[in-house]
Structure 1
Amino acid sequence: MVASGFGSAILIGTAVLSLPIATESGERAPFVDALFTATSAVCVTGLVTVDTGQYWSTFGEVVILALIQVGGLGIMTLATLFAILVSGRLGLRTQLIAQAETKTARLRDVPHLVRNVVLFNVGSEVVIATILSVRFFTGYDMPLGEAVYDGVFHAISAFNNAGFSVYSDSLMGFVSDPWITLTVAIAFIVGGIGFPVAFELARSWRRPRTWSVLTRITLAVTVPLLVIGTVVIGLTEFSNPGTLGPLDDQGKFLAAFFASATARTAGFNSIDVAAMHPESWLFTDLLMFIGGGSAGTAGGIKVTTLGLLALVIWAELRGESKVNVARRRVPESTQRQALAIGLLSVGLVAVVTMVLMHLSPHRLDQVMFEVVSAFGTVGLSTGITADLPRSGHVLIIVLMFVGRIGPLTLFSALALRERARLFEYPEERTIVG
């Protein structure tokens, strides 16, 4: 149902974007370009084969914006519902209470959840759009109508972690403007950590001891990754004349933080990604692969998966038979699910990278960056997207679709289809390592 729902939205978007009115030239867009853009929008990725602001008309841009909203809102709603089904801990009435100990979610409470998710989504976008519109209007002498349009477009795109921009260079023209870059960064961080975590923090940010395991793991992984990413990218690109080199110290820090945050599936860039050093590309690959929080608009394997795997390793190193966090025991089934998602994702990225290298003349580091960006629904690119052959575009389309719904539906399927075995085989240890 999830796959068919997203697939239907993509097909409708493709059909509308194929209309002559959707392009600036008044000519029909090639089918693959329309399909690629629609998939990227619904899957809130941001990879493009054509310049969004130059190629698509205002009508086409509004269609893209609508697809982003549908995709982002659908992802957040479905992910939150799945979180309830899987964990059985998220109680519902007019609000999501992460500490509730209910065993099941009642169907009559689902409409309240959906309403809260929609209000959270739309309310956040209104605040972000207001800040961006005022800044565009007062700081860059934009006409009021253009400022509001650009503010709304980037607010929806940012909160839903889509990465689409009406500017050809994304946000590079605002690299040193904290009003623009920090507002956009906060938007996709909040949208990426997910509704359950954001709601719980809003309710009990002063009482961290009452936080759920989901919130604890999400913050425990997200914050260090943001800090480490800022430091690593800041150091590797510090003197690079194509990225951070020309900026002052404050500008370097702001740009490095934005580059670290946007790699968590946002897709905007305030520096030239194509000019970054290969080591920065590799580190960004890791950030894009990890992604953001569960039940949010971010992609990747999710920070919760990485956090659970880290806890499993830590418990094994300490010789403990159980994995515990915040005075709670992590079920073995959840540990296996995290391991399955991690290994399957690594395998998928490796296979697609090899195939795409065979189809295109580009280097390994460029191709891998593109593949991880598509799988993690990030949208960052070294500039090779448009140069890929049509077969490569089709492969990226499939990867964006799988990367968007794959981890969500796979985790839910693994959790909801768990079955108890009525017998056990004799145990036999094998050599590991």
Structure 2
Amino acid sequence: MIRPLQRTRRAFARWLGHTAPPAVLAVLYMVLILIGALLLLLPPMAHTPLTPSEALFTSTSAVTVTGLSVIDVEHALTFWGQLVLAVLIHLGGLGLMTFAVLVFSALGMPLGIAHHAYLREDLNQTSYDRLMRLVRTIFRVVLMAEIAGAMLLCLTFMPRTGLGPGLWHAIFHSISAFNNAGFSTFSSGLTEYATDPIVNVVIPFLFIVGGIGYVVLSDIFNRRFWHGWSLHTRLMLVGTAALIVIGVGLTALLEWNNPRTLGAEDSALGRLTIAWFQGVTTRTAGFNTTDIGGLHDSTSLLYMALMMIGGGPTSTAGGIKVTTLMVMLLATLAFFRRRNEIWAFGRSIGLDEVLKVMALIAIAAVLVFTAVFVMVASHDGHFLDIGFEVASAFGTTGLSRGYTAELTDFGRGVIMVVMFLGRVGPLTLGFFLATRVTPRVRYPEGQVHLG
């Protein structure tokens, strides 16, 4: 007689084998979001019971590692509620398909060819053996980075909040930072630690490392400097460095005399420290050491662009990704120079990659425009606040100009959809674009006038 657990496992394996990988990914994320919401509704999780809308929004934001919140995490959630939040962030940040590899292997469930292809596309690996090695490496890197980050953050949090609370604040912020979530157990975010040297080094280090991608980390540690690195790693590091310089430099330039942000600090060093933190956190993590609602409109527009770009593929960050932006710029440069080939660092980039970039950017633009339009039509808020909120949700960043609390239930639903699609959508699209279909019919070339 087959045991119930065995029957369940076989039924799940059959469903897994006959279901398209993008659907598996979407279902896994939705199931985790619903489980998280149900857990947050339990009495021990909150000092005052959360509403279903609050629980679902918080769970969605955690699983998609966004950081937008309609509740005060410090005062609304108990330790157990914050622990559930940290677990949801971990599972969402690592990538459920990555986590599923180890789970399915432990349960003895075989993955089909389509799922192998999807995982290889998700993690940019060409073989299943390399994929398994990378997945195991990911978990080791995550554990080492988060443990080291928590130990260092204890040096700052423990003297201010006490031994036990300080340890928990350090662990939570280390998890949140490495997974680019932006959740904080402090009501005011990290504004009280705006000029603290440990916070301004450890937190950015964690979300930058988590945001550049595991493939890049593997190249850095296992291959010869620069010449041994792949084209992906080179583009990712150059693009990240450029965006950090742009983000930090323009933040300092635009906000230097703003009394609500950098201008609140008397010293030049203090202003530069805040500009550094906000300039690097905007694309990925969503922590704040200053009042985001007090930013100039020009800085807010800059941050919207940075949030849309996000971090790197195979990372804990969201957005259209840095490499997508780099390939788009290279394709544009090739067009203006009348070149038929796109290349960088002695390597060419195929037409299929350019088409993939075009599709990603087009879908992102349509999604964000539609969400902003629906939100503006259904809410009375300032256009910039709404646009900022949508860009933050799509980039799974978590920064807000203070508008999250003003959302209606319908508005929360829209933002939840954008967060979900911002996290799951690019991977799903990448799978379909990676599936090549040979056309059966070729048509004569036509002429289209553009520009």
Listed as ranges, the matches of 1:151-230 within 5 Å are 151-204=170-223, 207-230=225-248
Using the TM superposition, name which of 173-182 and 38-47 deviates more: 173-182
Deviation at 1:110, TM superposition (A): 4.1
Cα–Cα, structure 1 residues 127 and 83, in superposed 2: closer, same or farther, change >3 Å?
Answer: farther
| Partner of residue 127 from structure 2, selected from 95, 99, 105 | 105
Aligned mates of 2:400, 2:157 — CA distance in 1: 26
- The answer to whether the 8 Å contact 1:43/1:401 transfers is yes
Deviation at 1:276, TM superposition (A): 0.6
Unpaired stretches in structure 1, ≥5 consecutive residues:
91-103
**Corresponding residue number in structure 1 for 2:277:** 258
**Corresponding residue number in structure 1 for 2:334:** 315
Query: Is residue 68 from structure 1 mapped to residue 103 from structure 2 by the alignment?
Result: no
Cα–Cα, structure 1 residues 109 and 292, in superposed 2: closer, same or farther, change >3 Å?
Answer: closer
Query: Is residue 232 from structure 1 mapped to residue 250 from structure 2 by the alignment?
Result: yes
Give the letter aligned to residue 9 of structure 1: L
Cα–Cα, structure 1 residues 78 and 305, in superposed 2: closer, same or farther, change >3 Å?
Answer: farther
Deviation at 1:76, TM superposition (A): 8.2
CA deviation string 1:232-252 (max 9, x = no partner):
111111001000002211111
Listed as ranges, the matches of 1:290-309 within 5 Å are 290-309=309-328
**Corresponding residue number in structure 1 for 2:145:** 124
Aligned mates of 1:16, 1:149 — CA distance in 2: 20
Give the TM-score normalised by structure 1: 0.92
Aligned mates of 2:336, 2:219 — CA distance in 1: 32
**Corresponding residue number in structure 1 for 2:447:** 429
- The answer to whether the 8 Å contact 2:122/2:314 transfers is no
**Corresponding residue number in structure 2 for 1:17:** 40
DSSP 3-state at the match of 2:304: helix
- Identity fraction in percent: 37
Give the letter aligned to residue 222 of structure 1: T
- Structure having the larger proportion of residues in helix: 2
Runs of 4+ in 1 over 4 A off after TM superposition: 78-84
CA deviation string 1:82-106 (max 9, x = no partner):
787349974xxxxxxxxxxxxx413
**Length, aligned pairs only:** 413
Cα–Cα, structure 1 residues 83 and 194, in superposed 2: closer, same or farther, change >3 Å?
Answer: farther
Aligned mates of 1:399, 1:366 — CA distance in 2: 16
Aligned mates of 1:297, 1:400 — CA distance in 2: 14
CA deviation string 1:16-70 (max 9, x = no partner):
0011111113xx3100100000000010000000101110111100000010011
Cα–Cα, structure 1 residues 334 and 353, in superposed 2: closer, same or farther, change >3 Å?
Answer: same
Aligned mates of 1:410, 1:273 — CA distance in 2: 32
- The answer to whether the 8 Å contact 1:175/1:181 transfers is yes
Aligned mates of 1:10, 1:89 — CA distance in 2: 26
Deviation at 1:71, TM superposition (A): 0.8
Give the letter aligned to residue 160 of structure 1: N
| Partner of residue 31 from structure 1, selected from 52, 65, 68 | 52
**Corresponding residue number in structure 2 for 1:271:** 290
Query: Is residue 6 from structure 1 mapped to residue 29 from structure 2 by the alignment?
Result: yes
CA deviation string 1:273-318 (max 9, x = no partner):
0011111100000000000011000000000110110111111111
Aligned mates of 2:100, 2:249 — CA distance in 1: 31
**Corresponding residue number in structure 2 for 1:338:** 357
Deviation at 1:77, TM superposition (A): 2.9
**Corresponding residue number in structure 2 for 1:370:** 389
Give the TM-score normalised by structure 2: 0.88
- The answer to whether the 8 Å contact 1:17/1:34 transfers is yes
Cα–Cα, structure 1 residues 87 and 293, in superposed 2: closer, same or farther, change >3 Å?
Answer: closer
RMSD: 1.9
